[in-house]
Amino acid sequence: MPATPTVLVAGAGVVGLATAALLATGRCADRLRVVVLDARPIPRWRAEEMDPRVYALSRASQQLLAHVGAWGRIAETRAAPYRRMRVWEGTDAYAASALDFDSADIGEPDLGHIVEDTLLRTVLADKLATAREAQLVIGSEIESVETAPSEVVVELKGGGSLRGSVLLAADGSDSTVRRFLELPVAGHRYEQSAVVTHVTSAGDHQGTAWQRFLPGGPLALLPLADGRSSIVWSLPTADAERLLTASDAEFLAELGAASLGCVGELTACSKRVSFPLQALHALKYTAPRVALLGDAAHTVHPLAGQGMNLGILDAASIAAVVEDALLAGEDVGDLKVLRRYERQRKGDNLAMLAAFDGLNRLFRLPGWASPARSLGLRVVEAAPPVKRLLMQKALGLEAGRRHQVRWSRAELQA
């Protein structure tokens, strides 16, 4: 292994950039090089535009971003905290079976923050630009990946190559790295697509995330910092395609009926985009000198808004494994080292995927199942300890505390 190991990170999305930032600013920053590569330019955040792609970031994700010195800039630029979440099925958002989650019930200031993809990527890329041993290689597509006993070699289209001790693949659900290495996956398509847009409403979103389960899929309205709401509407693919081509007036009328006016009359919407939904899980997260992260390893239904948070927890885990191995004098690309990451993350990710898949299937059952679903929601709403546990899990409080303790100890040891 080279005297100064090189960590290659494929994918300059949020998970890849967060992984690189953790390593490039961590306690081993002076003992390794970090190179991030992506075929596409990193989009820059613009104040005059709201990115249609947003994430509901948990407390654990917030703490990771704070640890690398990125959260302060994100929060002061444009992040929307949401303090409540209301979940229901049927025609009454305030029915006895509706779930009302309030951050005050667990002593937290909020249940998370809604943040744009471009803002996260801009701040993390800028953080890497100031790191001494970090490099961004943008605009070069991977042509092949070859692993050898002591290194991994990435050949780039148009010429050139990169060599490293380990390759961390955070290059999305259609991962090029995963395909080149023929790492097997299991999963299925939902025959649903998510329609995403931002809407202006006559009413106030009240700092609340609203979610209604409909026969075709869940509809979520997430509060944005400018007073609008971000829409993530999961629908049968044919319905999604129809709504993409509908006029704004037609779309807003149908959306208003589906949302039951929970944020008041809808008066305008931004450009609509859509993406297909699938469940995917890599049977192996690791191979010699390679590890899969984020959507390259697991893709979940967006109904709970946890996909990005799972990926960021992957980033925290792999960074910790690489640092610990480096400090112990181990080869960071050795399969036995990388399998520590796989053991830490695979079980949790698979459990979350199964839970979200099961919920989606449950709420898509015909009307005969509605009474049973309503009963289940009533039971949860009437059981404060269960609600608190669900909120703590969604916020990632336990995972956040684990990493906070580790980072604190690392700073003392540095």
Residue 264 lies in a domain: no
Residue 214 lies in a domain: no
Residue 217 lies in a domain: no
Residue 224's pLDDT band (boundaries 50, 70, 90)? very high
Residue 226 lies in a domain: no
92 close to 374: Cβ distance less than 8 angstroms? no
Residue 179 lies in a domain: yes
DSSP-based three-state secondary structure for 381:
helix
Residue 306 lies in a domain: yes
Distance in angstroms (rounded) separating the CA atoms of residues 75 and 62: 10
Q: pTM of the predicted model, to two decimals?
A: 0.93
Per residue in 307-349, pLDDT (tens digit) is 999 999 999 999 999 999 999 999 999 999 999 999 999 999 9
Per residue in 73-131, pLDDT (tens digit) is 999 999 999 999 999 998 999 988 888 999 999 999 999 999 999 999 999 999 999 99
Residue range of the domain that includes 399: 6-47+59-78+112-187+278-363+380-413
**Which amino acid, residue 194?**
A
> Which residues are within 8 A (CB) of 160 and not within 5 positions of it... i.e. 6 or more apart?
140
CA nearest 276: which of 231, 222, 230, 238? 238
Per residue in 357-376, pLDDT (tens digit) is 888 877 777 776 677 777 67
Question: What is the DSSP-derived secondary structure letter of residue 346?
Answer: H
**Would you tell me how many other CB atoms lie within 10 Å of the CB of residue 68?**
24
Per-residue b/e over 170-200, b at no fewer than 16 CB within 10 Å?
A: bbbbebbbbebbebebeeeebebbbbbbbbb
Residue 147 lies in a domain: yes
As beta bridge partners, residue 31 has: none
Q: 59-67 and 14-25 helices cross at what angle (nearest 10)?
A: 40
Distance in angstroms (rounded) separating the CA atoms of residues 293 and 17: 12
Question: What is the DSSP-derived secondary structure letter of residue 41?
Answer: P
Residue 31, pLDDT > 80, answer: yes
Question: What is the DSSP-derived secondary structure letter of residue 341?
Answer: H
293 close to 169: Cβ distance less than 8 angstroms? yes
Residue 93 lies in a domain: no
Give me the pLDDT at residue 394, please.
81
More confident residue, 23 or 395: 23
How many whole angstroms from its chain centre is CA 37? 19
Distance in angstroms (rounded) separating the CA atoms of residues 349 and 300: 9
Q: Which pair of structure tokens corresponds to residue 170?
A: 């955070």
Distance in angstroms (rounded) separating the CA atoms of residues 113 and 119: 13
Distance in angstroms (rounded) separating the CA atoms of residues 320 and 341: 9
102 close to 83: Cβ distance less than 8 angstroms? yes
Q: Into how many domains does the chain fold?
A: 1
Q: Which strand (E) or helix (H) includes residue 138?
A: strand 134-138
User: Mean pLDDT score of the chain, rounded to an integer?
Assistant: 92
Q: What is the CATH number of the domain that holds 179?
A: 3.50.50.60
DSSP-based three-state secondary structure for 226:
coil
